[in-house]
Structure 1
Amino acid sequence: MPRSAPFQQHHRRYDDWFEHHAAAYYSELLAVRALLPWHGRGLSIGVGTRRFAAPLGVRLGIDPARAMLSYAARRGVIVVQGVAETLPFADASFDYILSVTTICFVEDARAMMAEAHRVLKRDGKLVIGFIDRGSTLGREYLEHQNKNAFYREASFFSVDEVEQLLFATGFNKMLWVQTLVGCLSEVYAIEPLREGHGEAAFVVVRASCF
């Protein structure tokens, strides 16, 4: 089964998650906002229902799941159906790229980052948000992975693995922030942003293209 299939089949359930876990969602959103550039032409890889791209002002998004793109289009994004490993854009087309909780669902994470590097301008920024596999929440997802329609096909990454992939595909100057300490069921309020990584589940890294 393609890793995008659950998002095509359960698109309403996916979008509803952000309403049912509003405190966690806004914690993640603020963490991404802290590292996302304010200006320039941006692209959202794995735009989904545009829960991150819309409030952060990213006008263009790509996703393989057509049902997800219908949500994004209604929320004002220009949508393209496609995959992260083969982006249908010219070299050096973007000032920054946003990718939130997408890396664990692509078929080839290294190819995704290589493509991001190709379409970014020199010194462009790649901002990736993901669940750290070694965190409390990451271990919880792994423990129940086979019972979750979305994470059944996912490949979770550690911070070290993401860092190695970034270096291997031509990125440097990495900045890290994190949020969500403990289990998701214990998040009742927006959590403060922390620098670095290793203490919280949701990690955001901004890397420069060189």
Structure 2
Amino acid sequence: MIQKEIFDTNVGEYEAWYDNYPEVYQSELAAIREQLLKLPENIRGIEVGLGTGRFAQPLGIKEGIEPSEEMAKLAIKRGIEIMEGYAENLPYSDLQFDFVLFVTICHLDNVKLALKHAHRVLKHKGSIIIGFLDKNQAIAKGYEDKRHRSTFFKQATFYSVKRVKELLSNAGFKSLEFNQTLFGDIDDIDEVQITKPNYGEGSFVVVKAIKK
């Protein structure tokens, strides 16, 4: 609930980040898009915790969850259908979607419960895609060092790749595939980076996994 209030009252600062770091943003989009392109065509998916729609809109995702009313207002203007709710209690029935995207697991109150609900709403052999800042890489370490001065990362929990693997396996997912981007310090990234496979170098990691 605390994190919801942070996002409700700082929409302008949130939006400004994307304008101030366009190459970082486009690099993250490219890494997520690469995983989405592995999925079949003409499928239905959602983004959970989609903010103002900065990822959903360019990725062609038409619906999802955003608990912050102020963020949701901008997402709706970007053409996205918003369901009121939280990642930890998705307001959808079972077996609804072909994929579920998360780009904000560091802001979730209970990531285990969120993944359990993602598994529930996915169709058989549906995919979960998670974009996250690797706790062991430079950008997440920088945010952790400065979290007392950060608007959005004071309450954030960063995860290592090893921990994300464990969480996905425990939630009932298999066949994990990884790619990565954001190589170097965030303030030094001045061009859109080419995504690399696997993990261990880039600060932003994307994993795709299949529902068992």
Q: Give the equivalent residue in structure 1 for 2:63.
A: 60
2:52 to 49, 52, 70: 49
In 2, Cα distance between the equivalents of 1:83 and 1:57? 21
Aligned equivalents of 1:30, 1:116: Cα separation in 2: 23
CA distance in 2, matches of 1:39, 1:160: 32
Matched with 2:113 is 111
Match of 2:72 in 1: 69
Taking the aligned partners of 2:137 and 2:42, their CA distance within structure 1 comes to: 32
Q: Hey, which bits of structure 1, 4+ residues long, moved more than 6 A?
A: none
How much has 1:61 moved relative to structure 2?
Answer: 1.4
Stretch deviating more after TM superposition (110-119 or 4-13):
4-13
Q: Distance in 1 between matches of 2:55 and 2:26?
A: 10
The code of the aligned residue for 1:197 comes to Y
Question: What code does the residue aligned with 2:46 have?
Answer: L
> Over aligned residue pairs, what C-alpha RMSD do you find?
0.9
Q: How does 1:1-210 map to 2 (within 5 A)?
A: 2-36=2-36, 37=39, 38-100=41-103, 102-210=104-212
Uncovered stretches (5+) of structure 2, i.e. residues with no partner: none
TM-score under structure 1 length normalisation: 0.98
- State TM-score, norm by structure 2: 0.97
Distance 1:180 1:73 in 2: 29
* Equivalences, count: 209
How far did residue 182 of structure 1 move? 1.4
Structure 2 counterpart of 1:142, which letter?
E
Unaligned runs of 5+ in 1: none
Q: What percentage of aligned pairs have identical amino acids?
A: 36
Return the offset for 1:6.
Answer: 1.1
- SS of 2:106's equivalent in the other structure is coil
Contact 1:4–1:105 (8 Å) recurs in 2: no
Superposed CA deviations along residues 91-126 of structure 1, whole A, max 9, x for unmatched, are 0000001111x1111110000000000000010010
